[in-house]
Chain A
């Protein structure tokens, strides 16, 4: 009897707001009751400590003028000068602006695209067509950026297919690949093309978790396809959407490094410089490990603030959040 009550309590606890910690029982006693859970946790925890946390100590180079040959112990300490070097560079402002602008476009357009596509495919009746289309749309994910850019060039470039088709019409030539004004749109379109299919996979998995009974009862209540989408499907996958969105905010200062580096020469740094390419030119190319580490730390701090803020917001709005 006692056992049963306890399990019920626990089950309900996870769905209710937290209760004050039961001070009656010691932490150790509670931990012992959950020992199985620690069996699950410890190997993974060990992994993270060894392979992720030990190397993290290497970030001390952000305060050093680090040389791999001299090592962490011998390299001179330079205080905060790597950080001041970063923030005193006028280019960094432009890089930040571009990064945030590209990120915003991607969050607004590239993030919802897979959701829309997944919902569209989900509404198909034929399983076979659904499977075929699924298998096709995720193909571009596997093509590296070097090839993607050259394929786009062959279609949208100055000597590309598009211009050859426009020529008889007396339009153009348009060089969409080299126009700084439309560059942000270009790279967002590329990201959507490359990743939209791949992105659907996770939402398909989420859709499988929705009980068909919900659809059935909604239909019985007279809800049409749109209302079922709105009231059943979307709420069913909303926690994944929120989760991915929060995690995406954590990487808001990271936008396709290789994609941009490859296409920067044509449109110039004013249009295409982002934080990562800035680090590359100012830090990495010169073997300036300290500056690169400093940029990484700043990005991490900003990402942390955004993730915590978004998580809090998600919870306030009644969602589950990440943690």
Chain B
């Protein structure tokens, strides 16, 4: 199957690529890929370097002196492991909830001319993109709702993003209208239309917002910092932020006679630990970006 994929599938109507175009594209894309990839390679290499080698600047592509010290420091104790689990749980549950709420609301707002009041709701949603509240009112709300120190406080305050909602709605509006008409003629309810027609045809955009939400939940540390008192509930980004933003405890803690391991290797290891899990999600979502979802739909 893999072998079959390697051969580019060119539709019959498409002319064979010109050699010069292919070469030009190849060069440009290779250059872009390199520029995007190299920093990550460098980050990984530093994270696996011995502290001295990282400081000296010898590590450029592969660790000048291989060491797991940075990872050992980060994974000492259960803190990071537990935080990774917390983040994974919050991201999974949060993304699911957010996607469902966004898709339903977006669909609910697609026919503003026919559904009285829905245009007003759309305005309400858009307004929140332009005007926001400070952290204190948000904190007071979460407190009043009894959500302080709960995982729900990491999910609910950001459950629906107006931006994602507008994007999804835009995709829904661009679906061919005939599909809906025929479904309604066949007596399908709106719920059935949403579930059987809109969602299957919008897999790509749903995958996109799932990714947006997932990454937002994964990367969030601010809500956790404000809403959680119990540091054992902290998600990974809040834990790891402590390694990156503070250079080293040396200055403040003044642990006389103790110097922590080189911050740079730890900082880079932090980047790796904080990003690799969420990066792994992308390939799974990528398969939804296949062209031509509408082909069969319209013919049928």
Which A residues are within 8 Å of any B CB, using their own CB?
3-4, 7-8, 10-15, 18, 27, 30-31, 34, 36-41, 43-45, 47-59, 61, 68, 117, 120-121, 123-129, 131-144, 146-147, 151, 193, 197, 201-202, 204-213, 215-216, 219-220, 224-225, 239-240, 243-244, 247, 250, 289, 292-293, 296-297, 300, 303-304, 307, 320, 322-323
Contacts and interface: CB of A to CB of B under 8 A. Distances in A.
7 contacts: A44-B165, A48-B160, A58-B137, A125-B9, A206-B171, A211-B298, A219-B13
Given A49-B124, A139-B36, A215-B13, 7 more contacts: A59-B133, A139-B40, A202-B167, A209-B294, A210-B291, A212-B291, A219-B15
B114 A239 contact: no
Contacts of B271: 143-144, 147
Contact of A37 (B14, B101, B118): B118
Given A126-B6, A139-B279, A208 B160 contact: no
A49 B105 CA distance: 13
Contacts of B163: 247
Interface in B21-36: 25, 28-29, 32-33, 35-36
A206 B170 CA distance: 10
B39 A209 contact: no
A142 B279 contact: yes
A203 B285 CA distance: 15
B32 A44 contact: no
A218 to B, nearest CB: 9
B81 interface: no
B252 interface: no
Nearest to A250: B130
A45 B105 contact: yes
Interface stretch (B62-70, B72-80, B84-92, B189-197): B189-197
Contacts of A45: 105, 121, 124
B116 A36 contact: no
Please list the 7 inter-chain residue pairs (A to B) with the smallest Cβ-Cβ separation, ordered nearest first.
A58-B137, A44-B105, A40-B108, A55-B133, A125-B8, A36-B190, A41-B108
A296 B107 contact: no
B190 A43 contact: no
B150 interface: no
A316 to B, nearest CB: 18
A13 B167 contact: no
B259 interface: no
A216 B291 CA distance: 13
A211 B293 CA distance: 8
Contacts of B201: 209
Contacts of B170: 239-240, 243, 320, 322
A323 B167 contact: no
B288 to A, nearest CB: 8
A143 B141 contact: no
A283 to B, nearest CB: 11
Given A51-B156, A247-B163, A135 B114 contact: no
Contact of B111 (A14, A48, A123, A129): A14
A75 B169 CA distance: 42
Nearest to B105: A44
A306 B201 CA distance: 33
B177 A14 contact: yes
A53 B120 CA distance: 14
Contacts of A128: 5-6
B291 A41 contact: no
B113 A208 contact: no
B131 A297 contact: yes
A323 B122 contact: yes
A317 B166 CA distance: 20
Interface centre among B40, B140, B170 (most CB of A within 10 A): B170
Contacts of B109: 41
B286 interface: yes
B99 interface: no
B117 interface: yes
Nearest to B129: A250
Contacts of B29: 120-121, 124, 129, 133
Contacts of A13: 113-114
A7 B291 contact: no
A296 B137 CA distance: 14
B50 interface: no
B111 A37 contact: yes
B53 to A, nearest CB: 15
B185 A247 contact: no
B25 A124 contact: yes
Interface string B179-212: 0110011000111001000000100110110010
A135 B32 CA distance: 12
Nearest to B14: A219
Contact of A34 (B114, B167, B185): B114
